Amino acid sequence: MSAPSPREVPDAPVAGYVEVITADEVAALLRMTPAWVYAETRRNRIPHMRLGRYFRYRRSAIEAWMSDLEETVDAPAPIRLRQA
């Protein structure tokens, strides 16, 4: 059984199918530049995997990371009381 050609990869997620995207696609998803995505990747701030010299990203991991960022930003700041 050979690997599917790019045209055979399904558009919609299928059970067991993990969508792997490039830095350019992550940049488009986040409305950022690819340079920003690469810089954040090198700082280990974006979930990624390394395939040789290339970085790739699981769409589901990027979406979960974005949700986590939203939750931490939206969380109320703790109230700090001054000590007399």
Q: CB neighbours (10 Å) of residue 83? A: 4
Asked if residue 82 belongs to a domain, the reply is no
Of residues 16 and 59, more confidence is placed in 59
Residue 57 · residue 46 · CB < 8 Å: yes
pLDDT per residue as tens digits for the range 35-59 = 999 999 999 999 999 999 999 999 9
Asked if residue 4 belongs to a domain, the reply is no
**What's the whole-model pTM score?**
0.67
Asked if residue 40 belongs to a domain, the reply is yes
The count of domains in the chain is: 1
Give CA–CA dist 28/33, Å, rounded. Answer: 8
- Kindly report the length of the chain: 84
DSSP string over 2-35? PPPPGGGS-SS--TT---EE-HHHHHHHHTS-HH
Range of the domain at 54: 18-74
Please tell me whether residue 81 adopts helix, strand or coil conformation: coil
